[in-house]
Structures are given as structure tokens and as C-alpha cells.
Amino acid sequence: MQTIKIQPVERGLQGSIPIPGDKSISHRSIMLGALAEGKTVITNFLNSEDCLCTAKAFQNMGIEIAGLGTDIVVVSGNGLHGLKEPSGILDMGNSGTSTRLMSGILSGQSFYSVMSGDQSLCRRPMSRIIKPLTGMGGRLYARGNNQYLPMTIVGSPLKGIDYQSPVASAQVKSCLMLAGLYADGVTRITEPALSRDHTERMLTYLGVSFHRDGLTLSIQGTQTLQGKPIRVPGDISSAAFFMAAGVIVKGSEIILENVGLNPTRTGILDAIRSMGGQFEIINEIGKDWEPSGNIRIQFSQLKAAEFGGTLIPRIIDEVPILAVLATQAEGITVIKDAQELKVKETNRIDAVVNELSKMGAQIEGRDDGLVIEGPTLLKGARVQSYGDHRMAMSLAIAGLIAKGETLIEDTECIHTSFPNFMDLLQGLKG
């Protein structure tokens, strides 16, 4: 088990760093590239463990993917019906996105497949996709009374469905849109609040049409995707750790290059702004595809704020690092409507409360979120990640401002989303 040691930073963080490719977009570029006709050349692909699970799964289904491990990955698509039955179990590692989105695709095939993953993934709820997919005619069989991986999918003919999702989840929405491509008739999905829209943007770009009416999406089956070059912007969820570091480490001024600025993902910028964090966006590009830009951010005095409602799906992966920010903000920060945190890579409400408490934070868990009183002088402690990459990185950033050394246990998980996190952090320390 790997342990990371973090020492408090004496002088501020300085410098400019490139943010690695977006995880959500990298997954989708492999999946949709595989279902497209012709080649999809992906630049700034994220070579993290999660995205490599997606790529290997498609290789196991006969898709040629070149350049893995480099910045430019080329997927040779075989069209909507060009996948082959995998000869073994598809290993989804730690990746909920790979599992849920691929379930939609696999349900519509004419072959048998089995997916499994690591301990954390095998505890995450799959019923949220199994139920609607079954309603479309899918044949999915999972452990624990049809809830958990391992899961078997016996491909079958699908029909459109009109589904009201109880959760604002891009994984559920995307799973059903992908299944909808294989379905007879129209598949309609309504979500309670807008979740990240990368699937919609990429499908449009590759030539698929669908209709959006408020929170309802309708997609007609049997459409052709056309392979095209895909530029992956940097992952704002990865950038968020360094935004937080820039804001809370005294004397810092850093530039984060090429950060994805899709409005369905920028909740962390809204949150930092409402807490009084100082930043500016420079050189914004790509408004017609997935916008991105450079973010210059500096140390700022923070004040507490309340977060909830439609902001939550736009900041869902950033709540652990938001909690770290809140420990440095004057007043009581409340994060609510975030029950989904309980079913991420770990129960992030419990994990954040347990570990930040060890560092001296004034923090309480609620059924739907967190209450944090600040500012607190954090102290170094031995803390654990629960095998959750975002916990590990949030604790590393907290360690930068703690008094004394912070030891974070079980940090291999950082590789699932941000393999060069520690190198970039070291670079900013100078």
C-alpha cells in the first residue's frame, strides 16, 4: 500500500501547469469512436487507469485502438454493429463511468458479456441502470438481487422507453442514450436536474441527432456515427485540486492550462467565486465543442457559503476538495442535496468527515451533505483515502496548509484519474 507524505508549503505555489485530459470525455471518445464509421483521432487523451479500462474492454471486443499510453490515440471504429463477443470477463477496474455507459451499449448487442471490477466498483449501485435497461427489453443479471457487479448482459433487441430518472446522473442518462441508439423507436430520458452533457455534445459532433426539451432528451434508434478528430480539454475535476491549492496556500499564484469549461462542469468555479476566491479565465477557446481556457488563480481570503440544488450535479466530484476550502473560509459552509456522495468511489460524506476531523477540521456529516465551520488551522495527521482518488488528492491539498506532516495511506488510487498529480504538485512547489 502506497503512502504519500505531504509537508506544509513554506512559500506560495507558483507556476503554470498543463491539466491532463478530461476523464469523462476520454471515456466517451473511445466508446463513441468504437461505434463510429472510420477513424477517430483523439488528442490529449487521458491515459489513466479508468480510461484504459474502457479502451481495453473495446479492444477485447475487436476494436483496434492505437497509441494508448501516448497523447494521441486512434480508434478504428467498426460501426454501430461492429463489436465482437469478448472472450473473457470485461474488467472495469474502479470505473463507474465505463461500467454504466457500456451497459447501455452491451444491452443492445447480439452477444453475451460479463463485467466485473474492483471491490469499490462491486459495491456501487447498478440497479439505477439495470431497471431502465430491463424496461427497454435488456437482459441484465447482477449480484445481490440485481444490484451489483459482477453483471452478465445477454444482448437482446431493445425498444424505446420513456424514463424519468430519479437521479441527476450523466452515467444513467448516457447509458440510456447509448442503449437508445440500438432501440426500436424513440428513447426518452428526463432527469431531475441537468447533469454533465458530454455525451450529447459528442453525439451531435459525430452526426447523431436528438431532441432536447428542457430536461428531457429524445433519441431515435439506428443512427450512424461518423469518426472525427476529437480534442479532449483538460479535466476541470483534476484542475479543482490545484485551484483549491492556489486559493488556500498563502502567497500562491498559479496558471492552470487548458481547463475544460463546459458549463455543466463549472460548479467549482461558481463555488470559489461565491466564497470570495480570486481567479480569472484567459484564452477561452472551443465554444462550439467543449470549451476550455487557462485559469489564473491566487491566494484569497475565503468566506463561507451555502451550496445545494442544481449546483450539485455541476460540482458532484469536487465536494471533497470544496470541503477542504470550507475549512479555510470564515463562517459556516453548508453543502446540501448531495446524497449521491454516498455512492461514489466511497461514501464521501463519511470519508470527508472522518479524515478532515483527524486534521482538526470542524465538520459534521448530514444525510445529504456536510456542514463545516472555519477557518481552522489544520494539523498534519495520518489519514486514509478509502481507495478513493478524489479523497487522496483532497487530503494532499489539505496537507499543504497543515501544521506538521500529513501521511496519506492507500494512494495508488490517484492513478485512476490523475497519474501525474504528485509531479505537477512538486513542480508548483518549485
Determine the interface stretch with ligand S3P among 38-46, 135-143, 151-159, 168-176 (rule: CB under 6 A).
Answer: 168-176
Looking from the CA of 331 toward its CB, the CA atoms found within 13 Å total: 10
Contact assessment for residue 244 and residue 321, using Cβ atoms and an 8 Å cutoff:
yes
Q: Please confirm whether the linkage preceding 150 is cis (ω < 30° from 0).
A: yes
| Look-up of cell digits 490517484 | 414
Q: Which is nearer to ligand S3P, 41 or 341 (CB)?
A: 341
Contact 317, 237 (CB under 8 A): yes
Nearest-CB residue for ligand S3P: 24
Asked if 316 is part of the footprint of ligand S3P (rule: CB under 6 A), the reply reads yes
Query: Which range of residues in 62-70, 167-175, 323-331, 403-411 is near ligand S3P by CB under 6 A?
Result: 167-175
Compute the C-alpha angle 399/400/403, nearest 5°.
70
Residue 26 and residue 238 in contact, taking contact as beta carbons nearer than 8 Å: no
Tell me how far, at minimum, the Cβ of 342 lies from ligand S3P, in Å. Answer: 12
Rounded Cα–Cα distance for residues 94 and 249 (Å) = 31
Active-site positions?
Answer: 317
Q: Where are the alpha helices (DSSP H) in 249-345?
A: 267-274, 319-327
- The residues in 19-78 that bind ligand S3P, with binding defined as CB under 6 A, are 24
Site for ligand S3P in 393-412 (CB under 6 A): none
Exactly one of 109, 120, 165, 195 binds ligand S3P (CB under 6 A); that residue is 195
Q: Which three cell numbers stand for residue 18?
A: 498543463
Quick check: 317 binds ligand S3P (CB under 6 A)?
yes
Using CA atoms, how far apart are residues 340 and 135, in angstroms rounded to an integer?
23
Q: In this chain, which of 97, 99, 120, 258 binds ligand S3P, going by CB under 6 A?
A: 97
The one among 169, 252, 333, 394 contacting ligand S3P by CB under 6 A: 169
Closest contact distance (angstroms) between CB of 67 and ligand S3P is 22
β 210-213/382-384 pair status: unpaired
Residue 265 CB partners (closer than 8 Å, separation 6+):
196, 236, 237, 314
The binding track of 336-375 with respect to ligand S3P, each residue x by CB under 6 A or -, is ----x-----------------------------------
Number of Cα atoms under 13 Å in the Cβ half of residue 389? 23
* Site residue total, ligand S3P (CB under 6 A): 11
Q: Which of 48, 78, 120, 171 binds ligand S3P (CB under 6 A)?
A: 171
Q: What would you measure as the largest C-alpha separation in the chain, in angstroms?
A: 62
Residue with cell 470505473: 95
Nearer to ligand S3P, 129 or 275 (CB): 129
- 365 and 319 Cβ atoms separated by less than 8 Å: no
The span of 81-89, 155-163, 164-172, 270-278 binding ligand S3P (CB under 6 A) equals: 164-172
**CB under 6 A: which stretch of 3-11, 59-67, 169-177, 272-280 binds ligand S3P?**
169-177
**Least distance between ligand S3P and beta carbon 224 (Å):** 23
Q: Which residues bind ligand S3P (CB under 6 A)?
A: 24, 97, 169-171, 174, 195-196, 316-317, 340
